[in-house]
Amino acid sequence: MKLMYFVEWDAFNPSGVLRKVRAQYAEWVAVGADVIMVILSPKRKSDGVALIDLPGCTVVDYPAGGLGKLRKAMALSKVKEIVKKFGPDIIYYRQSSWTPGLMGVFECVPKLVIEVNSDDMAETSARGFFSGTIY
């Protein structure tokens, strides 16, 4: 069985989340899983290299800042190419805020597992009426 670990997170700045996904991916590799990891990440002009440099891990970056959500959605086409090339049986997706185009990625595989990490509805609603309503 082939697994793709799909993460939407900043791969250029240290964080607990980045350490967690790195450790989770390393465990799958250690037990012999046929797995790749794809991280969809914003990148600022001041960012250096991605902090995850593991075999089978690809960082798909997009310019951070204005129009970030649109740029993120456009970068999903590269993620979709990776999915089609690797042909995973399952995508294990670390939940992030909804991005247009995600369903196009998910529809490429027969099974999807979504890891829910928090009270996303409360967090999104706290950002204001527009974000809470759209999400």
Among candidates 8, 12, 7, 6, which has minimal Cα distance to 51?
A: 12
pTM: 0.85
Element (H, E) at 72: helix 68-86
Decide if 41 contacts 20 (C-beta within 8 A).
no
Decide if 76 contacts 43 (C-beta within 8 A).
no
Q: Over the chain (135 residues), what is each successive 10-residue block's mean pLDDT? A: 95 93 95 97 86 91 87 95 97 88 94 82 62 53
Sheet strand arrangement including 111-115: 57-63, 34-43, 2-8, 90-94, 111-115
Q: What is the pLDDT of residue 68?
A: 80
Q: What is the pLDDT of residue 49?
A: 85
Domains of the chain as residue ranges with CATH: 2-134 (3.40.50)
